[in-house]
């Protein structure tokens, strides 16, 4: 019996080692590093903080040495922007959770790139939520594409130059918002229609895409429809009216959105 217990214990030990999630914290504020490590240690026995760094050069060396599954990356380090860490890797085989103060530009770049972030000062509930999400979706695909989009989005101030990452069940796409004609709600999913005639279904709500694309010339004209103003072909005024898009789709316009749609359409025609 003792031998059996010993064998089971050894198997459990190797199981835990094999499935342990290796994590590196890259943060130049000592207090923030300690808070992150304390919350992780208290709430996640399967996540091990194997190293930490307060600068870019050391962070790159640690990532190459430990090959982590996950890193926490401060966007604004003392010796430069955290995205320089990502630029050092041709292929990114780890997930990133960005740590940032209330930097609206950076947060938008993160959201556009389908990545996760937490705001400083770190709230335990926010960190726990992000880590639970990571655990349930560990080993996602095409991390390099998401991080490439983030790097590009951090470099570009213009919304027209941005790249948005769209995830379907099986793959990620990196696209320019200018190629999106319209988005249509399908309960908890959204159908996205492109100017080349393609359509993809994504597991995000229309409200989420309204938030992502609102600064890029997109307008929620109806409860179920978000359209790219630049792709309107014509606008019909009766009642709430409807718009015909360049792809031939006829999209209803709610009465309360009629005035703003007409205004934006006339701006486009000038």
pLDDT greater at residue 225 or residue 241? 225
Q: Is 125 exposed, middle or buried (0-12, 13-18, 19+ CB in 10 A)?
A: exposed
- In terms of pTM, does the model score above 0.95? no
CB within 8 Å of 170: residues ≥ 6 apart: none
Q: What is the mean pLDDT of the segment spanning 226-242?
A: 85
259, two tokens: 């005035």
Q: What is the pLDDT of residues 111-148, one digit of tens each?
A: 888 789 999 999 999 999 999 988 877 555 557 788 88
Rounded-to-integer distance, Cα 163 and Cα 173, Å: 10
Integer CA distances (angstroms), 107 to 58, 74, 78, 104, 215, in order: 25, 12, 19, 5, 14
Q: What is the pLDDT of residues 49-88, one digit of tens each?
A: 999 999 999 999 999 999 999 999 998 888 888 888 988 9
16, pLDDT greater than 60 = no
């Amino acid at each position: 019996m003792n031998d059996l217990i010993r064998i089971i214990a050894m198997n459990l030990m190797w199981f835990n080692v094999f499935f342990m999630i290796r994590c590196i914290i890259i943060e130049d504020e000592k207090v923030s590093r300690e808070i992150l490590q304390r919350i992780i240690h208290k709430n996640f026995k399967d996540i091990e903080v194997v190293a930490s760094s307060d600068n870019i050069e050391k962070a790159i060396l640690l990532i190459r040495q430990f090959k982590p599954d996950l890193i926490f990356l401060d966007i604004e380090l003392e010796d430069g922007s955290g995205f320089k860490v990502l630029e050092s890797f041709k292929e990114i085989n780890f997930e990133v959770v960005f740590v940032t103060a209330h930097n609206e530009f950076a947060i938008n770049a993160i959201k556009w790139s389908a990545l996760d972030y937490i705001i400083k000062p770190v709230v335990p509930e926010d960190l726990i939520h992000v880590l639970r999400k990571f655990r349930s979706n560990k080993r996602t695909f095409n991390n390099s594409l998401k991080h490439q989009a983030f790097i590009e989005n951090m470099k570009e101030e213009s919304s027209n130059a941005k790249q948005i990452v769209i995830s379907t069940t099986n793959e990620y796409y990196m696209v320019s918002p200018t190629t999106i004609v319209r988005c249509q709600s399908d309960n908890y999913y959204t159908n996205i229609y492109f100017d080349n005639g393609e359509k993809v279904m994504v597991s995000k709500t229309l409200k989420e895409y309204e938030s992502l694309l609102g600064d890029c010339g997109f307008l929620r004209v109806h409860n179920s429809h978000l359209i790219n103003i630049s792709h309107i072909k014509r606008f019909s005024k009766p009642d709430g009216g409807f718009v015909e898009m360049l792809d031939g789709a006829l999209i209803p316009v709610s009465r309360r959105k009629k005035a703003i749609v007409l205004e934006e359409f006339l701006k486009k025609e000038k």
